[in-house]
Amino acid sequence: MANLKVGILTSGGDCSGLNAALRGAAKAIYQKFGEDNVDIIGIHDGYYGLIHNICNRMKPDDFSGILTQGGTILGTRRTPYKQMQIIEDDKIDKVKCMKDTYKKQRFDCILALGGNGTHKTANLLSEEGLNVISLPKTIDNDIWGTDITFGFHTAVDVATDAIDRIHTTATSHSRIMIVEIMGNKAGWLALYSGIAGGADVILIPEIPYKIDKVIEACQHRADKGKPFSIVVVAEGAFDVEEAKLKKKERQKQRELNNETTVTYRIMKEVQKKTGLETRAVIPGHILRGGTPSAYDRILATQFGSYAAQLISQGNYGNAIAKINGKISHNPLSEVAHKTKFVPIDDDHVITAKSIGISFGI
């Protein structure tokens, strides 16, 4: 029987780089402990699989050929943290079931790959006495304590490519194109891809916008003989009036207006005020898919390798991070329940403003 038993899961939204991280962790664990001395157990569909004990022993070959593969070979599923400690109609005590699976499988530790919700649940399990290490994954780049998350770089590349392609049709038809980019709470992805894609306006949740300023920026370009504009909008963006409302109030108001995001509202208002043909484009889940960039393959591999190092040290209850260019870690208790927002004085915001990009303010 192996001396070490490691459970590994991917939770929350998928993104490019998850398989690269699984591979990096597995190869480093096998290398450090020896293939005959360790069992890696794949937990399917995230915490749902841990709750329901949906696990299988993996072989070294299972981690071959997946470096460039998007998605996750373990499958993923959203099990919201808010529901973790609530017993619902199915009468399942989720925390108890996860602890029971941990004991039944005789895990020495669990590696949890995911975003903010994943880290919250990882911290909960750590507080319950389980050995847990988390790896930061999200295209939103909004996990506190790490310079960057794997999946973000690839999503920036994909979003930028989408904006590049939209640029050509916007130019050809003299249209204003409103491009909605994922980012419900934080605007990192819209900010980076907007700058890289040559956007004229970037709207992010951290900087509530004024619609008149957005219209003014588009009209100014038209007056200068450029009757096309690219407006990049993070899906979580909101205007200065909505900023006065609480989140639930804002959601209720949008439901009454049959809106999920501000994108189509901006499109209608811009077209009405400028008289210029305006279209909305939503790349959506395309941003999550496909082959990870070389950067994300390396970063995910580094995170996976560092996880093996923490396991060898028995150093649990931590979230792996990249801090000031070096792979390191933070206590899960410090990472959970925090979000890394774009500071309004962030270097990228300052750079964007310096070249004339409007933030609608």
Domains 4-150+292-335 and 154-287 share a fold: yes
Fold of 4-150+292-335: Rossmann fold (3.40.50)
pTM, entire model: 0.94
CA torsion, points 30, 31, 32, 34, in degrees to nearest 10?
Answer: 60
- Domain residue spans of the chain: 4-150+292-335, 154-287
Q: Has 212 been annotated as catalytic?
A: no
For 224-268, how does the pLDDT look when each residue is reduced to its tens digit (9 = 90+)? 999 999 999 999 999 999 999 998 899 898 888 889 899 999 999
3-state SS of the chain? CCCEEEEEEECCCCCCCHHHHHHHHHHHHHHHHCHHHEEEEEECCCHHHHHCCCEEEECHHHHCCCCCCCCCCCCCCCCCHHHHCCCCCCCCCHHHHHHHHHHHHCCCEEEEEECHHHHHHHHHHHHCCCCEEEEEECCCCCECCCCCCECHHHHHHHHHHHHHHHHHHHHHHCCEEEEEECCCCCCHHHHHHHHHCCCCEEECCCCCECHHHHHHHHHHHHHCCCCCEEEEEECCCCECCHHHCCHHHHHHHHHHCCCCCCHHHHHHHHHHHHCCCEEEECCHHHHHCCCCCHHHHHHHHHHHHHHHHHHHHCCCCEEEEEECCEEEEEEHHHHCCCECCCCCCCHHHHHHHHCCCECCC
Catalytic residue among 108, 140, 157, 239: 140
User: For residues 282 and 176, what is the distance between their CA atoms, to the nearest angstrom?
Assistant: 14
Residue 3 has a pLDDT of 87
For 3-43, how does the pLDDT look when each residue is reduced to its tens digit (9 = 90+)? 899 999 999 999 999 999 999 999 999 999 999 999 999 99
For 174-225, how does the pLDDT look when each residue is reduced to its tens digit (9 = 90+)? 999 999 999 999 999 999 999 999 999 999 999 999 999 999 999 999 999 9
Fold of 154-287: Rossmann fold (3.40.50)
For 137-164, how does the pLDDT look when each residue is reduced to its tens digit (9 = 90+)? 999 999 999 999 999 999 999 999 999 9
CB 296 within 8 A of CB 20: yes
Structure tokens at 100: 């029971």
